[in-house]
Structures are given as structure tokens and as C-alpha cells.
Amino acid sequence: TTGTGTHLLETINNSDANIDDIGTYDDFHTIDWLREMSRNRLRHRQILYRKKESFFRTLKGLHDAWSGWLVVLLVGLAAGTCAGLIDIVTKWLTDVKLGTCSGKFWLNQESCCWNSHTAEPSGTGCSEWKTWATIFGVENTLIFASLAALLVKMFAPYACGSGIPEVKTILSGFIIRGYLGKWTLLIKSITAPLAVASNLSLGKEGPLVHIASCCGNIFAHLFPKYGKNEAKKREVLSAAAAAGVSVAFGAPVGGVLFSLEEVSYYFPMKTLWRSFFCALTAAFILRSINPFGNSHLVMFYVTYNKPWFLFELVPFALIGALGGLYGAAFIHANLAWCKFRKNSKLGNYPILEVVVVTFITAAASYPNPYTRIDASMMIAELVKECGPVMQNNLLVKISQRCQSFSNLALALLFKGIITVFTFGIKVPTGLFIPSMGVGAIMGRLIGVGVEQLVYNYPDCALWKTSCHAGHSCVTPGLYAMVGAAATLGGVTRMTVSLVVIMFELTGGLQYIVPLMAAAMFSKWVGDAFGNEGIYDGHIRLNGYPFLDNKEEFTHTTLATDVMRPRRGDQPLTVIEQEGMTVGDLEHLVRTTKYNGFPVITSHESQQLIGYLYRRDLILALGGQMARLNVIVETPINSLVYFTLHAPTPSLGGANDPVPLRLFNIVDLSPITVTDHTPMEIVVEIFSKLG
């Protein structure tokens, strides 16, 4: 067995085991929050102590103090720029798959027909815009989706999916190397527009959170304060997630609340302010780019300001309940399908699955005018008002022709089913827009029903005093807005952040009470069928070690009921403070898979001294040999001491083994609980402390 040579042992002894790599983490391991925060406090004290030494040290201290604001500024600038470019490319690809602008192929349909004043979502009424034949439209969607899947598989497998479950897991302290890397950022930025333009039932909002988090991770490495400390890095990632939602929905405040409520595990007050600054910066950059050309950050901005009436709270609550039911059904169906994909041969053919789903979506979407257009455009049309002034050709038919009503019902059924099979395929797949689309259709249908009910029965006591005979006082677009919030809340189980996002998304401040009512009923009904949202479900499905610090533990067991080992099990694997050799420790590491070991005085006394992490032990035993280019055969009987003082080598021969002292890599103050501590307290301690 080879181990550490005499030169290496002396080096470690002389440096007091101050190994640079100790404290870093392997892939798919969990960070030690207490250790990271202790390292940061030590670093901060050293900077304060050295500030008085010279002017350069003072400047270094100021740079360290301002680095937090500087890094979130850079993240906000990058996130806003990426979102603006992605929005522009997505709009162009969505239009170019159906047609092209004569002589100006780089223009999308809206820009091409800017002076026409007759352009419609269907593409008719504009002589400059040339529409492809239907077969070419389907062919283009297949090309876009196949190219996106191919790029993901070849260059960045982590670029598929929404990214929010993994970002949430990373923010809880889990290490996934490469998930927030440069290649993931590049490929996801390229493939997200391709996936959305392929008319799949997905959105780019979830991927934008992932993209912004990639920006946060990349810029964090430019500052040692954050790049070398995993706990501090997660403060930047929390701000980046807020910026991602900010540019996805044009909702800076909603983005901060989303980061706080949904994804962040550690969110101190200073992170709240920096997240707000990051989200504000990203929104400002997106507004400056103006990708939608309407001076707004989103496509769903509403301009009507009709009041809502008290009797409408009943249909609003009904919409919320239906949204919760849909969310619960979608979560169970999607998780079941993803589990089947994961455990069957279907998972071996990701590109074929993408092509098949894309073809079915394109073929089934084309006959229906509501599913033929882009999902964002559909939602924008559904939340609009139809009245004497604003006669929208798609929506005015709802009250005039039964055909349009049936088209909406079919679109609701199709969108609700196809999204189950789309979310989770190997392309960037966001869930916000598809969920909102289903809810907007449902809400619009209910809104039209209520509108007709009020119109046909004007003398009903519920609305007689509010609505005048012959005049409609119901706004179906508002019901579509409330329905979008209800289904999104049912799928994600968002509450406060959802209401704020929807308010900022639509600009309808006076409609905040209907949105709150829908969000509450959606949450209540959804939780009746299971407390986890879609992101928590995918975290569980992928087997990530996520301990939710918001979940309540109600069992009445004690720590002794779950302790290992139990009677009949193998004894607990421990390290003695003195007497173990390099060979013993190497055998321990080779034959076990534990992430760490308790350090005790001896097997007789069993007194706990501290805790030793597996990675730290491996690095201390052999990590420096490659760095020092030392290749020396080491006797495996070299004694290892985890004490403050180790005995000096005997004066025998040069071949006598040199003792190794590794006292400084032992955590002398691990969190401990007694065996009679209630499990409710144990879970609370471990979830709050990471």
C-alpha cells in the first residue's frame, strides 16, 4: 500500500495540516454551512486586522466590503442582457418558422408589418409578410426541437429541463459540478429560444432562472470572497434567482419574493437588499433593450381598469379551486410519466422522444387557432378586454359563435394533457407559461359564462345593484388573469410571490384581491392532495438530498428511535484519537462510504473528541504528494495522532516511521444531540443549520 512519504509527513507536520484543498467538496456532496460561515468570519477578522498595516490593505478592505454589491450588479447586467437577447431571438424564430419578411428576413412579423396596421396573430392582412405552407411550418418546428435536443445532448446535458429544482437543491447546500457552468449557460441560452419556437408546450421563464443562476455562479468566482466560500456563493445565487424571475416576468419585487419563498435556503437580510438591487438592475437592462417593442417588460400588460364586484369573489374562488385540482393532477401525472421514462428504455432515446412529442404537438395544434399561435401570445390575447372599442378578432368570437367556445375547450384539454408529457424532455422546458396558458383558457371560459349569466338574468339579486340591464359589468379578461394565477399556484404551490408576480406581470393593481383569493383557494385545494409542488416532486424523483426547512415534522419519536447502529448491526465506524496507523485509515476509507467519522478517545471510553470529514482525511493522507511531486514509499505502520501534541520520532534509524499529526483537520465542535432529544427538535436543528 502506498501512502504519504517521510518528506510529506514532515511537510504536513510543519504546516500543521494547513492544506489548501481542505474545506472543498466533491461532486454530489453537501456543504458544511457552519464551517463555511466560520471560515468567512475568520477571513473577515483578518481583513479588519490588516487594514491598519498599509494603504493597500485599506483599499483591499474597501474592495471586500463593496464586492457584494459589485457582483450582484454584474449578475443583474448579465441576466438582463441575456433575457433581452433571448426574447428577441425567440420572437424571431417563432415567426420565421411560419413565414418570412420580403427582402428583410431578419425582421419578425410585428416589425415587418409595423406600418401595415392590419397584421393579425394568424399572419393575415400584411402583404409584406409571406407565410410558408403548413408542411414547412411543421418541418421547421421539428428542425428547431431536434437541434435543441442535439445541442443539449452533445455539449451540455445539464441544460435540459427547467433548472429550478436543481437550483433549489444547490441553494440548499448541495454540490452539482457543472450545472451552473459556462457551457450550460451558453447551450441553454441557445436552445431555449429553439425549444420555445418549436411550439412545444413549454416556456422560457424557468430556464431564465437557471441562466441567471449560471451568471451568478460565473461572476462569483471572480471574487475570492464568494468563489472560495460555498455559503457566501449561495447568497449571490439567491440574488441571481431573483434576477431570473425579474427578467422572466418583468417583476423585480416578485422575483425577490420568489427567491425568498421558493428556492433560497439561506437568506439573510443583506441578501434581501442585494437581491432587490440585482433584480432591479436586470429589469432596467431588459427595459432598455425593450424586446417586445411596447415599452413594457412583458407581453401581458392590461390596459383596462374596470372594477370588479363582490359577487365575483365566488367565481374567483371557484377558479382557484379548479386551479388547485389541476395542479395536483398535473403533479401526479407528470411525476408518474417522468418516473416511467427514467426506469424504461424510453430514457435511452431522448432525441427521438423530443421529435415525437414535437410532431404530435405541431400536428394537433395547427387546426385550432388558439393552440396554433405562441403560448405567450395566446395568454396576451386571452387577458384582453372585448368591448365596443377593442374588438379582438380571436376573442370577440367567444360571445358570437359556439365554434370559438368549443375551440377554447379543446385547447384547454390539449394543453393540459400535452404539458404532462412535455415537461421533463431533454430540452430547456419551463412550466410557468404552459400552466398559465391552461389557467387563462379555463378562466376565460368561466368569465364568458358569468358574463352571459349576468347579461341574460339582469334581475338577479346578486348583481342587480351592480350591473345595469343591457350592459356587461363582467370582464372575461380578468377571469383569464385569475385563472392563470390559479393554475400556476396549483402547480408550483406559490402564494405571496405568485400574487406579486401576477400584479407586476399584468399591471392590474386593483385586481390584487381576486388574485389573492385565487391563490389561497388554489393552495388549499392543492395541499389537500399533497403538500409538495412540482419542483419538490422532481427533487424527490431525482433523489437529491433536500431537507425542506419550511416543512413541519409532527412525529413523536425520539432520536434514539432512528439512531444507527441498532442492536444486531455492525458497530459504529469511528477513528481513535491515538494508535491508528496510515494503513488503518486507508483501509477505513477504502471499505466504507461514509462522508465522515466520529473521533473518540478510545474504544473503551467512547468519549467524543470531534468529527473528521472523509475528504479532509483523504487529502491529509495523500493529497499533497502530487502537489509536491513526492513519490516515496511510505510504511503503512506510520502512526497518526489526532492530538495537539504528537511524540517525536525515535532516534533509531532513518527507516523508522514518522508520526503524522492531523489535529487541525478535526472539527472539535460538531453539533450534537442526546439520544432522548425529540425528533422534531433534531429535524429543526439540522434543517435550519443545513
Q: For 607-655, what is each residue's pLDDT tens digit?
A: 899 999 888 888 887 653 443 344 444 556 778 888 877 676 655 455 6
- As a whole-number percent, the residues of the chain with pLDDT over 90 amount to 41
For 596-605, the pLDDT digits (tens) are 899 999 888 8
More confident residue, 652 or 374: 374
**C-alpha grid cell, residue 408:** 377554447
- Has residue 497 got a pLDDT over 50? yes
- Has residue 128 got a pLDDT over 70? yes
- Has residue 317 got a pLDDT over 60? yes
* Spatial separation of the C-alpha atoms in residues 265 and 263, rounded to whole Å: 7
- Has residue 491 got a pLDDT over 90? yes
Mean pLDDT of 542-547: 86
The CATH topology of domain 310-542 is Clc chloride channel (1.10.3080)
- Has residue 81 got a pLDDT over 90? yes
- Has residue 315 got a pLDDT over 60? yes
- Has residue 398 got a pLDDT over 80? no
- Has residue 586 got a pLDDT over 90? no
* Spatial separation of the C-alpha atoms in residues 334 and 434, rounded to whole Å: 13
Closest to 75 in 3D by CA, of 307, 276, 291: 276
pLDDT value, residue 626: 41
Q: Which CATH architecture has domain 71-111+120-289?
A: Orthogonal Bundle (1.10)
Let me know: does 240 contact 212? Beta carbons within 8 Å. yes
The three-point CA angle 239-242-243 to 5° equals 90
Q: Give the chain's mean pLDDT.
A: 83
Q: Among the listed ranges 105-114, 393-402, 493-502, which one has the minimum average pLDDT value?
A: 393-402
More confident residue, 6 or 654: 654
Closest to 439 in 3D by CA, of 385, 500, 388, 502: 502
The CATH topology of domain 6-22+557-689 is CBS-domain (3.10.580)
- Has residue 395 got a pLDDT over 80? no
pLDDT value, residue 40: 87
Sequence-distant (6+) residues with CB within 8 A of 364 are 371, 414, 418
More confident residue, 51 or 430: 430
End-to-end CA, the chain: 37
Report residue 9's pLDDT band, with 50, 70 and 90 as the boundaries: very low
Mean pLDDT of 59-80: 91
Phi-psi region of 17 (alpha: psi -120 to 50; beta: other; left: phi over 0): left
User: Taking the domains of the chain in order of start, what are their residue ranges?
Assistant: 6-22+557-689, 71-111+120-289, 310-542
Let me know: does 398 contact 375? Beta carbons within 8 Å. no
Could you tell me where the beta strands, DSSP code E, fall in 68-162?
A: 99-101, 129-131
Q: Among the listed ranges 62-66, 273-277, 469-473, 670-674, which one has the minimum average pLDDT value?
A: 469-473
Count of C-beta atoms within a 10 Å radius of residue 346: 14
Q: Do domains 71-111+120-289 and 310-542 have the same CATH topology?
A: yes
Cβ neighbourhood burial of 7 (10 Å; 0-12, 13-18, 19+): middle
- Has residue 548 got a pLDDT over 50? yes
pLDDT value, residue 406: 85
Which three-class secondary structure string do you get for 639-689? EEECCCCCCCCCCCCCCCCCCEECHHHCECCCCCCCCCCEHHHHHHHHHHH
* Spatial separation of the C-alpha atoms in residues 439 and 318, rounded to whole Å: 12
Residue 174: strand pairing partners: 30
Alpha-carbon dihedral 214, 218, 219, 220, rounded to 10 degrees: 100
More confident residue, 387 or 371: 371
